[in-house]
Structure 1
Amino acid sequence: MNARPMPLCPPLQLLRLSLVAVWLWTAAASLLQWQGESTALLAAGGITSPDIQAWLIGAGVALDLLLGLWLLCRPGRAAYAASFAAMLAMTLAATALLPSLWLHPLGPLSKNLPIAAALWLLWHSSPRDGRSE
């Protein structure tokens, strides 16, 4: 008898979909604000070369889009681990460039703490055999 892993319960599915929305929204916002907030943040962090700014913003958009679609279409432990690693890397990079973002009243970096907890919960709640939920 082949036992199939149980899919995530509805609250965890909702949590996963909220993370999909975060990744996809971030990709869209970065594109929409390419010449606005995205470039301004990099410039404030000391990255003023337009070529490097374009490369970093483009790579960030691509990564955000990839992770959002991966979590949407093929969720599982690998997607959660990759999302966690990307979030951690981006948080560390942002901290190095603009540590003052930790004190921002809207919490652009502190919001990554509950995102990390959500990814940890989803990773621990997903099947270990690599099948998607």
Structure 2
Amino acid sequence: MSIIKQDRLITSAKYSLAFLWIFTGLTSTFISPDIGYEILSNAKVTGSLADTAVYAGGMLDIILGLWLMTSFKTKLCCIVQVTVIALYTLLLTLVDASFWLHPFGPITKNIPIIVLIAYVYTSDATRVSTIATKSTTTKNLN
């Protein structure tokens, strides 16, 4: 695959993940926070703690999406994303393990999402290495 095509694919992967994070954050915070409250209520989490969990989780999702779009410290962003997904998965599993069998797959979709994040992580490292190599080669030619 040419470097240009690979760069486009990496960019598409980043923006796809960013869209997912931002959309999820906006939805869970502003459009359907009642779903989050219901899940938390099943775990006996209510009141201000539930408010904090719903809004902090939504804002965290939005921040992750925006961060990914900046391409600033992409590898660290990928590590944070996987950590957040793992925590969300663990918490949701503890609250209601039936989500693993949900027909829309709110937890099982995390597996391909983590694979895409891993692709962005490894591609970013390769991309930086390629740019550094080209820069060194260009300097040596001059």
Q: What TM bracket, shorter-length normalisation? A: 0.7 to 0.9
Instruction: Give 1:116's aligned residue.
Output: 114
Letter of the 1:84 partner, please give it: V
Cross-structure match for 1:10? 8
C-alpha contact (below 8 Å) 1:20/1:69 kept by paired residues = yes
Aligned to 1:33: 32
Deviation at 1:12, TM superposition (A): 2.0
CA-atom RMSD in angstroms: 1.9
Instruction: Compute the displacement of 1:22 (Å).
Output: 0.6
Q: Give secondary structure in 1 for the equivalent of 2:83.
A: helix
* Corresponding position of 1:100: 98
Quick check: 1:61 aligned with 2:58?
yes
Greater RCO (Cα-Cα under 8 Å, separation 6 or more): 1
Runs of 4 or more, structure 1, over 2 Å off, are none
The answer for the alignment partner of 1:72 in structure 2 is 69
Shift of 1:66: 1.1
Contact 1:47 1:53 in 2 (8 A): no
> Gapped runs of 5+ residues in structure 1?
1-5
1-structure distance, mates of 2:106, 2:76: 25
Q: TM-score, normalised by structure 2?
A: 0.79
Larger Rg: 2
Q: Aligned with 2:125: secondary structure? A: coil
Aligned residues: 123
CA-to-aligned-CA distance 1:9-57 (integer Å, 9 cap, x gap): 21221111110011001111111212x212112112x234211110111
Deviation at 1:81, TM superposition (A): 1.0
